């Protein structure tokens, strides 16, 4: 009798705060981002989960208002327009080099006041071209930041045209997550969210309200304890 098991395709979108305040942490976060997919595959294998296809994309984010108001520095590779730096999905392990190169280009710069545009970055992540391949999918968003987020409505006026159709407020963003409003590729049963963020709003409220979200309350300047990191990976792996 020939019976085949199920194939599971996993997409991971990593949203990384690349403002100046992240400077002391950015290398560690990038290192975490580099190892995350490999560690996830290891955790899956340890739990006998088979991932048939794995893709990763990265979204670096800053602050919409600061990036729009700040005079352009044409000598800087990430001038005022680069509030979001988005990569395509990289197929791993085949495009590991491309992922590493993209991560290397991310600099911790800009941002202005402490809250950043992390919620808009989440919206961009949810609108990704998520895989529908395989018989089951997992759509995982991981966000790293050391700051709270500006209310979405307070930054609508600063949006470049390319981002004009992002959600108008947190309610709309919540609808994107909870009911798939405005996102055609995100599958409700496949979604998972992991936040490495300080224990402040909006992150605390968001993780309480959004289904299938996990929050590691990060402390500025400190990384993840191995135990916490392992728990997060195992938690995701066991839902694959």
Partner 1 sequence: MTTADWPVVNVAVDIEKVRGQGEDSPPLSFFGPHQAVVAVFDGMGGAGNQPFEIDGRIHTGARWAARGLRSSLVEFLDAGERIEAASLGRLGGAFVHRLDRLDERAGRVRSRLRGSTRRLFPSTAALASVERTRRRRWRVTACWAGDSRVYLWTPQGVQPLTRDHVMDPGVVEERPFEDSPLSNAVSLDRPFALQLHEVELTRPFALIAASDGAYGYVRSPMHFEWMLRYSLARWPDASIWERRLGARIGRLAQDDATLVVLAVGFRDFRDLRRTMIADNRAFAATYIAGLRATGADAARFAERRAALWRRYSANYHALLPPVLENGRAHMCDPVEVLAAGPAGAARPAAAARPASGLGRWRQERRTGSTGSTGSTGSAGSTGSKGRR
Nearer to partner 1 by C-beta: 99 or 176? 176
**What is the nearest approach in angstroms of partner 1 to the Cβ of residue 23?**
24
**What is the nearest approach in angstroms of partner 1 to the Cβ of residue 222?**
11
Name the one residue in this structure whose structure tokens are 């949006």: 159
Nearest to 41 by CA among 100, 96, 86, 97: 96
Nearer to partner 1 by C-beta: 123 or 207? 207
Binding site for partner 1 (CB under 8 A): 1-6, 8, 46-50, 135-136, 188-189, 207-217, 227-228, 231-232, 234-236, 238-240
Nearer to partner 1 by C-beta: 183 or 236? 236
Q: How far is CA 114 from CA 26, 204, 226, in A?
A: 16, 17, 28
Nearer to partner 1 by C-beta: 96 or 234? 234
Nearest to 177 by CA among 164, 165, 166, 191: 191
Name the one residue in this structure whose structure tokens are 């997060």: 232
What is the spatial distance between Cα 117 and Cα 65, in angstroms, rounded to a whole number? 9
Nearest to 113 by CA among 142, 74, 155, 172: 155
**What is the nearest approach in angstroms of partner 1 to the Cβ of residue 214?**
4
**What is the nearest approach in angstroms of partner 1 to the Cβ of residue 25?**
17
């Amino acid at each position: 009798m020939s019976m085949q098991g199920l194939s599971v395709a996993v997409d991971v979108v990593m949203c990384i705060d690349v403002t100046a305040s992240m400077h002391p942490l950015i290398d560690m976060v990038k290192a975490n981002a580099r190892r995350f997919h490999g560690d996830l595959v290891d955790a899956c294998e340890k739990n006998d989960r088979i991932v048939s296809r794995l893709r990763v994309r990265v979204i670096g984010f800053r602050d919409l208002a600061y990036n729009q108001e700040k005079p352009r520095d044409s000598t800087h590779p990430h001038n005022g327009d680069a509030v979001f730096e988005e990569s395509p999905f990289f197929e791993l392990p085949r495009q590991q080099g491309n992922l590493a190169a993209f991560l290397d280009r991310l600099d911790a710069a800009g941002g202005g006041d402490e809250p950043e545009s992390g919620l808009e970055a989440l919206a961009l992540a949810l609108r990704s071209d998520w895989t529908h391949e395989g018989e089951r999918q997992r759509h995982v968003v991981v966000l790293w930041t050391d700051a709270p987020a500006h209310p979405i409505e307070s930054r609508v006026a600063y949006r470049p045209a390319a981002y004009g159709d992002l959600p108008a407020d947190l309610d709309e963003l919540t609808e994107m997550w909870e009911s798939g409003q405005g996102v055609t590729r995100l599958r409700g049963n496949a979604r998972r969210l992991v936040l490495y963020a300080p224990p402040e709003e909006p992150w605390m409220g968001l993780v309480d309200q959004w289904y299938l979200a996990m929050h590691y309350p990060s402390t500025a300047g400190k990384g993840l304890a191995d135990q916490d990191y392992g728990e997060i990976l195992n938690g995701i792996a066991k839902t694959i």
